[in-house]
Chain A
Amino acid sequence: MSAFARRAVLVLGLLGLAACGPDEHTPGAIVEGYFRYLALDPLRTLPLLTPEFHRRHALRVVTQAEAQAWVSRREAASPAEAERAEPELSTDRFQLAWLSIQGRPEFAKRARESLHSVLDIRERNDEADVITRIEPRTGPPFEQRFRLVREAARSAWRIDAVEQSGVESANAVAAFIAYPNENARRALEALTQAHTGAASSRAGNPQPPAH
């Protein structure tokens, strides 16, 4: 075997090892990876998350035609049926939104402002909880609990759900950055509208109520 061929085999072998090598194993490492990659290396967050995680954050990209059809169905449905009027979307629509929201420069800037620390890790069989404390630059700290799952003992842990506690208007932006999701987005939107409305009222220019 020539020297060139030996070098080529060595390089290919190293690439293969890199390709097949295990990812980080523990639930704590997965959560650390989540915070490390969020907004700075958004693609690397994808292997850490289950498809159900994406459906739970509920941020999604829809076409204008889908949005119009959804609005029509909601208007025609009773309040109880309104939620069911939402179209069934494939996981990629949620992943698209998950990536797109992290592409906003303001998001990346804010993501670097908060500090996080792991408070507790509880692991049982193929489920685990990782509880973290997040300290924003402004506003009170809050807790973020990650629920992780794995398919079998040797398979990778992935984040399946996130819950937050201690979130209020003063840390709502930091909470959204730590876990971007549709409910938090709507809450922020309402806060912004309330703030804008109050400012406009002070200026003698009342705004229509937010829907």
Chain B
Amino acid sequence: MSRARGEDTRGVTRAGAAAPARERAWLVAAALVAAAALLARLHNAFAYPPLHDYDAAGHALNVFALYQGRLPDPHSWSGFHPPLYYALGALLWHALPEAIPVHAALRILSAAAGFGAIAIAWRALRRVVSPADAAVVAALVACAPVVAIATSMLGNETSCALFTTAALARTMRIPDDPRAARRHGSVSALLAALAALSKSTGLVALGVVGLAYAWRLRRAGVSFAMRAMLAMGGVALVLLLPQYGRLAIETRSPLGVISGGQLADQAGNEMSVQPPGERHLADYVSFPVAALVAPSKDAPGMVQSVPGPLYAGTWADAQGAFLPTQVSVVRDAAAGAALLGLVPTLLAIAGLVRILRRSELRAVAATPLVFAALLFAAFLAQTWVVPRYTAVKASYLLSALLPAALALAVGVAEASGRWRTLWRAALLAIAAYMTFLTWYGWWT
């Protein structure tokens, strides 16, 4: 029987040193924080005003099209998006009672997908770090404002993140036996294809997952590897060709698969009047202090920076789409979250360095990290092509939830003794604070 690779890496992160009872206490504390986050999402689904979500009306019309039993028109406002999230939303619309508003049901669907992704990430983290570290990091990820806000809104980001995370997690345990790996790969390809059927970002996941299996099967012979790739590609093709083929034909443009045929800026929509209007290389290295003390696009230097709004959008609400940042108490609370975000950010950077330096960790985390690097590169390219502040939205990177959690988990697990206890406590306290921050309406 083959054994999944990565199974024995826990030892390298010094897990399991603490007494079992103390470890269980961390698990309980993390579970309580995660439960509070889940409760907050349910509250937000109903409390957040209808259709305030990012691109809400466009997403809503896609759901309505599927509710009526037809695919969204690719030439309509948001009709280029793949249909999986909307199809699930339309089913909910049919099935749920009238007491639940449709937009709330769609938000609950987002929350379910987001928490599904976090649960998968938690299981994957347990292969690398101790259960307590994995639980603490998963709880923090569930509460990070970028995740909290995305899972409080309707939209296809979260379903894409769910299937991407599921596919990437499987690449962390590809069986050594080639035949088992081929079967394993078909399921992973199916999951990655479902990600691409949720949002075009999933195409990146599909490519990376395919490469991971090709790399693993390279020693099994070219013919065997080709057959395995064909099987994986076949699964993806059956699912994706109707959607992406239709888009390519109808829009007659390769861009049709991601934006309906033209980039947002060229469409001349409201984005085209947003600052900064032009990007310079300096924008990619500038990090305004405002990102920490006034995490809003309106703060000085923010729209000219890419890392600043990205950071502020991860740990607060840089775009002000969810939190009313014109309210001073909210502004102050968001600044607190942005400052606290330094702790997990620095721990994740330390963890990433550690992963890159240690071959055992590198071997386990390679595919998720390659995916994260490609997604980040695509994100940077988009910010260059569309030089508007709304293009620097941290939730575009939501599908990289697993690699980010891996880096953070290794950062925590590598600390020893009191430091490790301190980081765990700090992360749970930060998570609890961020759940409070993103509980819609606390300021009223």
Chain A residues within CB distance 8 Å of chain B: 15, 18-19, 39-44, 46-47, 61, 63-66, 68, 90, 92-93, 95-97, 99-100, 102-105, 108
Question: How many residues on chain B are close to A (CB under 8 Å)?
Answer: 32
CB A108 to nearest CB in B, in angstroms, measures 6
B103 touches A42 (CB 8 A): yes
Residues of B within 8 Å of A92, CB to CB, are 61, 73, 76-77, 79
A47 touches B67 (CB 8 A): yes
Residues of B within 8 Å of A102, CB to CB, are 50-51
B51 touches A46 (CB 8 A): no
A43 touches B103 (CB 8 A): yes
CB A49 to nearest CB in B, in angstroms, measures 11
The chain B residue sitting closest to A106, CB to CB, is B49
Asked whether any CB of chain A lies closer than 8 Å to the CB of B95, the reply is yes
With contact pairs A15-B94, A44-B98, A64-B269 given, residues A96 and B50 touching in the complex (Cβ less than 8 Å)? no
* SS class, residues of chain A in contact with chain B: helix
CB A32 to nearest CB in B, in angstroms, measures 12
B93 touches A43 (CB 8 A): yes
> What total count of A-B pairs have CB within 8 Å?
89
A–B pairs, 13, beta carbons within 8 Å: A15-B94, A19-B95, A41-B101, A44-B101, A61-B77, A92-B76, A96-B77, A99-B61, A102-B51, A103-B57, A104-B49, A105-B49, A108-B49
With contact pairs A61-B77, A90-B76, A93-B77 given, residues A99 and B94 touching in the complex (Cβ less than 8 Å)? no
Residues of A within 8 Å of B94, CB to CB, are 15, 18-19
Asked whether any CB of chain A lies closer than 8 Å to the CB of B91, the reply is yes
Asked whether any CB of chain A lies closer than 8 Å to the CB of B58, the reply is yes
With contact pairs A15-B91, A42-B51 given, residues A68 and B268 touching in the complex (Cβ less than 8 Å)? yes
Question: Which listed residue, A61, A64, A97, A103, touches B50 by the CB 8 Å rule?
Answer: A103
Q: In the bound complex, how far is the Cα of B103 from the Cα of A41, in angstroms?
A: 7
Residues of B within 8 Å of A43, CB to CB, are 60, 63-64, 93, 101-103
Asked whether any CB of chain A lies closer than 8 Å to the CB of B8, the reply is no
CB B232 to nearest CB in A, in angstroms, measures 29
CB B75 to nearest CB in A, in angstroms, measures 7
The chain A residue sitting closest to B75, CB to CB, is A90
Asked whether any CB of chain A lies closer than 8 Å to the CB of B35, the reply is no
Chain B residues 9-51 with CB under 8 Å of chain A are 49-51
Q: In the bound complex, how far is the Cα of B194 from the Cα of A84, in angstroms?
A: 45
Residues of A within 8 Å of B267, CB to CB, are 63, 65
